[in-house]
Amino acid sequence: MQTSGNNMRNVTSDQWAGVAPGEIEDPRIWSEIIRQHTTLHPEFSFLPRKFKIAITASEHDRAAIKVHDIGLRLHKNADGETGFEVLVGGGLGRTPFIAKTIKPFVSGRDILSYIEAILRVYNQYGRRDNIYKARIKILVHELGIEKFAKEVDEEWKAMGDVGLTLDHAAIEEVRSRFSYPAYEKLPHMPDELKQAANDPLFERWRKNSVFPHKVQGYSIVVLSLKPVGGPPGDATAEQMDAVADLADKYSFGEIRVGHEQNLALPHVAKRDLPALFKALDRLGLATPNVNLVTDIIACPGLDYCSLANARSIPIAQELTRRFANHDTADLIGRLHINISGCINACGHHHVGHIGILGVEKNGEEFYQITIGGRADENAQLGTLIGPAVPYAEVADVIEDIVEAYLALRDRPEELFVDTVKRLGVEPIRERVYATR
């Protein structure tokens, strides 16, 4: 929305919104309410810099709210009222920050006025003299979260009743626009699924790519766009035509896109999973690597982007070949690799479990590597593991990092990020750079 302007851009939620078990409520309703209010808002059409909001309603944050200008977490207070924890000042790029909580609870009826108060403070104090210091994350960092929160609270009180309080009817009017499929009453374990369990290829895909749905008898299916040796996140026109047909047949015509650069079919009956798997396998879209080491996020890099300093796609392709063995990937477990070809961080390398940043040194491509980052409810920035390495050595270093993790984890279930958190960077750095 409003691309290229210094104004409100996207208001996003996660790709499982409305169907994920355990959600407080459907966050898309609130995303739409905020989008309607902020798009083409005359007071905020010339902010110091672009502005993005993300909303989650689940315990596990798939919307990456802590790396947005404003992050909103739906929850209920002690009185059972639905509202938002409000976080401010997240962002990546050349100066990354994790958002901080500015208000533990703002009721749903007051969320528009509170967001306006934040935007007014940002509009007044945000830097317009330096594009590199113009984002709200810099203002929050320079003022401090306590001072920024005080300014917002004072502005919020001074606004008084400006007609932004949301009544029940207004919320329900937007809610009525979000229709849900005509779900059937289906068994939890249909015969089709029991029979397909004898197929090891189907079972590997099911355990990796199929996730719980809030309605019994249905599943959320993630389609991996990360084939071995292929550009991550790519799909051909023919594949997308076919996926659209499969969505019509198996997911009530709905396809969703996540920031992990994969697709999701949010309403698949469990009885249809075997047939869907066969169709996806024929299309090359049944790679069982969702959330594993080859499910890599990468920007276009130097191959396609004039801002980039180094290539991203060939690094990702080589890593998928190095870790192509599915048994090895399962042994490693959940591990996210994110690659950016420049400091603008379009590949979100700062919050990758392993982050790879391309830099230029004397006309050659080098790569800085960080470990321990994450973008979920426990979001944190990765830590630089050592000196930048040349293009030809990147895949070797990543292999060494993974081998160090496998040797250092205290049990098979301990995830890479948990091992890094427990031990710190140094034990892994020692193993990786010992022979370099």
The residue behind tokens 């890094």 is: 420
Q: State whether 268 and 327 are in the same domain.
A: no
| Model pLDDT for residues 366-408, shown as the tens digit of each residue | 999 999 999 999 999 999 999 999 999 999 999 999 999 999 9
Q: State whether 135 and 208 are in the same domain.
A: no
The answer to whether residue 290 is domain-embedded is no
| Model pLDDT for residues 44-56, shown as the tens digit of each residue | 999 999 999 999 9
Q: Which two three-digit tokens encode residue 244?
A: 């659209």
Each residue of 366-395: b (16+ CB within 10 Å) or e? bbbbbbbbbbbeebbbbbebeebbebeebb
The answer to whether residue 71 is domain-embedded is yes
The domain that contains 94 carries what CATH number?
A: 3.30.413.10
The domain that contains 212 carries what CATH number?
A: 3.90.480.20
The answer to whether residue 289 is domain-embedded is no
Please choose, from the candidates 110, 25, 123, 129, the residue with its C-alpha nearest in 3D space to the C-alpha of residue 69. Answer: 123
Q: State whether 202 and 332 are in the same domain.
A: no
- Spatial neighbors of 144 by CB under 8 A, at least 6 apart, are none
CA distances in angstroms from 19 to 23, 141, 211, 291, listed in the order given: 8, 36, 11, 19
Q: State whether 365 and 260 are in the same domain.
A: no
Residue 123 neighbours by CB distance under 10 Å: 17
CA distances in angstroms from 237 to 228, 243, 247, 260, listed in the order given: 19, 10, 15, 20
Look at the chain and report how many structural domains it folds into: 3
- pLDDT at position 4, please? 87
Compute the CA torsion angle 98, 99, 104, 107 (nearest 10 deg).
-140
Of 283, 305, 326, which residue is a domain's last?
A: 283
- Spatial neighbors of 172 by CB under 8 A, at least 6 apart, are none
The answer to whether residue 3 is domain-embedded is no
Q: State whether 100 and 25 are in the same domain.
A: yes
- Kindly tell me if the per-residue pLDDT of 63 is higher than 80: yes
Residue 255 domain boundaries: 191-283
- pLDDT at position 65, please? 98
Q: State whether 394 and 351 are in the same domain.
A: yes
Mean pLDDT, residues 1-30 taken together: 94
- pLDDT at position 161, please? 84
- pLDDT at position 3, please? 86
Q: State whether 228 and 166 are in the same domain.
A: no
The residue behind tokens 């070809």 is: 341
| Model pLDDT for residues 214-261, shown as the tens digit of each residue | 999 999 999 999 999 999 999 999 999 999 999 999 999 999 999 999
Residue 343 zone, left/alpha/beta (φ > 0; ψ -120 to 50; rest)? alpha
One DSSP character per residue, 82-106 reads EEEEEEE--B-TTS-B--EEEEEEE
Q: Which two three-digit tokens encode residue 65?
A: 């709210």
The answer to whether residue 228 is domain-embedded is yes
Residue 321 neighbours by CB distance under 10 Å: 12
Q: State whether 15 and 139 are in the same domain.
A: yes
Q: Which two three-digit tokens encode residue 295?
A: 């499910």
Mean pLDDT, residues 284-313 taken together: 97
Helix, coil or strand: residue 395: helix
Q: State whether 276 and 302 are in the same domain.
A: no
Of 143, 175, 207, which residue is a domain's last?
A: 175
* Phi, psi (deg, nearest 5) at residue 363: 80, 5
Q: State whether 17 and 162 are in the same domain.
A: yes
Within the chain, how many helices (H) and strands (E) appear? 14, 15
- Kindly tell me if the per-residue pLDDT of 361 is higher than 90: yes
Q: State whether 217 and 325 are in the same domain.
A: no
| Model pLDDT for residues 300-328, shown as the tens digit of each residue | 999 999 999 999 999 999 999 999 999 99
The answer to whether residue 2 is domain-embedded is no
| Model pLDDT for residues 127-179, shown as the tens digit of each residue | 999 999 999 999 999 999 999 999 999 999 999 888 899 999 999 999 999 99
pLDDT-derived band at 344 (thresholds 50, 70, 90) equals very high
Burial of 42 (0-12, 13-18, 19+ CB in 10 A): exposed
The residue behind tokens 């140094």 is: 426
Q: State whether 207 and 250 are in the same domain.
A: yes
Each residue of 288-317: b (16+ CB within 10 Å) or e? bbbbbbbbbbbbbbbeebeebbbbbbbbbb
The answer to whether residue 111 is domain-embedded is yes
Are 163 and 117 a contacting pair, CB within 8 Å?
A: no
The answer to whether residue 37 is domain-embedded is yes
Of 175, 199, 224, which residue is a domain's last?
A: 175
